[in-house]
Structure 1
Amino acid sequence: MTTLTPSDAHALVSAAMTRAGHTAAEAGIIADHLLDCELRGLSFGGLARALSVVERIRATAEPPGPIRVVAETAVSATLDGGDRVGYLVGMRALDLAVAKARAHGIAVVGARNTWYTGMFSYYLEKAADAGLAGMIAGSGPAVVAPHGGTEGRFGTNPIAFGFPSTPAPVIWDIGTASVMYGEVLLKARLGAELAPGQAYDATGAPTLDPAAALEGAFGVWGGHKGSGLAMVVQLLGMMAGAAADPPGISDCGFFVVLVDPGVLTDAEDYRRRVAAFADAVRATRPTEGGGAVRVPFDRSAACRDEALRRGTIEVSAAVVEAMRREAGDVTHAGGTAHG
């Protein structure tokens, strides 16, 4: 592993993204998102994802277009992402949704023609900071098999909900696949195996090989219930205009709904009640031999706080070296190798 400071990691991603054709401002938006993943212990969505972004850009013959609003009302908007990376499209969609929800109490924003929209809790934390509750759902290429099947029909299809609270929001963010696409890519990069039961190869046989899984299908999370939820998320992405089965890494759907609690109840009282309810959940008597009960988002937020207090993050040495090559600087990116 390689030890980096957060500022070194941010600079490394920014340099690689700028070299890949993004403006400095765009590179900063992408780096902020990927660094937050690393700080929260979600390495498959961190610096390793920057390598996947560069590879996707290189593999695309046509240059990306602008992010455009193609339909709009006072409380809604539809974006065409111009085949630009989703970290940029998602932030544009979120900013629109926040502005509309603040003005009118509710907003629905959809985006299509984008890819790699990242960690939905990242967006919902910003929405909660603005006093808004919300849901984000995202569809994608058919790489996940429905319950009982071995061929891809769904994307990994994350769905997340966020609620403003004092002092920290309550956020639930899950993928509806047994393993996320970024995790499979990272394990393929590092030569690691998948866990049993997570994937099938192209013939439908169970596999531990991430490369074979990328040619076959991932399993769905949560049996028939998770499979149903995955189908719902795919349909929400299609409502944003995305294809049901887009080719390759393309045309992911991004569907955002934000609500101002103040249109239904006293907003500050709601924040306090959310916090009190979350504390009541944490205070639940644990099972015998079990640890303290946690609320969703507690673990990753605590991981981020500890990383910031420590002032360092640990990243795979192979990923860091590849990132340094992409950034065009193998000697000045900072960091100390361990192991």
Structure 2
Amino acid sequence: MKKIVTIIGARPQFVKAAVLSRIIRKQGLLEEVIVHTGQHFDTNMSAVFFEEMQIPRPKYNLDINELGHGAMTGQMLEKIEEVLLVEKPAMVIVYGDTNSTLAGALAAKKLHIKVVHVEAGLRSFNMRMPEEVNRILTDRISDLLCCPTTTAIENLKAEGFDDFESEVMLTGDIMKDAVIHYSKMAEEKSAIISKLGLENDAFVLATIHRQENTDDPNRLRELFKGLDLVHESLKVILPLHPRTAQRLKDQKIATNVKLIDPVGYFDMLQLLNKCVLVITDSGGLQKEAFFCKKNALVLRDETEWIELVDRNFAKLVRPKATEIFSAVNEWAGNKDFDEPIFGTHVGQRIYEAIVKMVDS
């Protein structure tokens, strides 16, 4: 049986990998070895996802976290290479745009192992974002690029990928499969709405974690001023990312919004399904909001998911308190959530492409 290694390290990757891992186990044609880099390491950001989504426990947990980009990526590269030398897989699968993604792709490529990049071709066109650097470099050395949208395909064409020795494929977005599969389970198993006393309340779900927002004290302070303004008339619930929590403490920024600990996937799905609006700087949550039929205000200067902005499902909002408040009160957003933007049966399409490449 051919062996593949899956490299994951952050919450969105656990969600995406759960879909493909379930198909791999069901088909029984490939042996999957999961490597967790440890990039997201605490229980609410990591372990709970494996429990809820029934992802096989990682065979390797590298426990690499809370380091600068260079140290983190370098240590991951070293340790992943050691794993690959032991496991000798036919292929490595990486997801998204984290340091774990780049380290996994580099380690595999240097050992002449085929690389599959799930969620390829995304571009923010902001090279100050570490995620942009990671995704561009990962795309360039991948053998199979699984693109979620036609925009992603066009981005790769513009970069000359028609002339590269790699296969570019429009698969759709695998996160859509996850939302469809797990939403019913979340309805049955999550008690987050009653726990927070939100049964009869309209509320906004917010998340803040991107470095461009958390590491700029003025920007972070202004964002929370805006959320506080919204909270005066519409309750704001914010699962607090560890990085954001630390920056709020460091900068002595106080807020009136309802801060809660990071939540598992089922709780997040329930919050998404029950909220009236999403305010976020997360790439993944923009899509999850759309899949749960909610509009999103994106607290960034640009987004990779331009399809959502172009179709008025999401709106870019500058980190200004008054602009955040105005957008919540004045922007209606598109309610036609049945638009076929992100494909269907995405996990199966990616699985079939992987099997074909492994056998070639």
Q: Give TM-score, length-normalised by structure 2.
A: 0.24
Structure with a larger share of its residues in helix: 2
Structure having greater relative contact order (Cα 8 Å, sep ≥ 6):
1
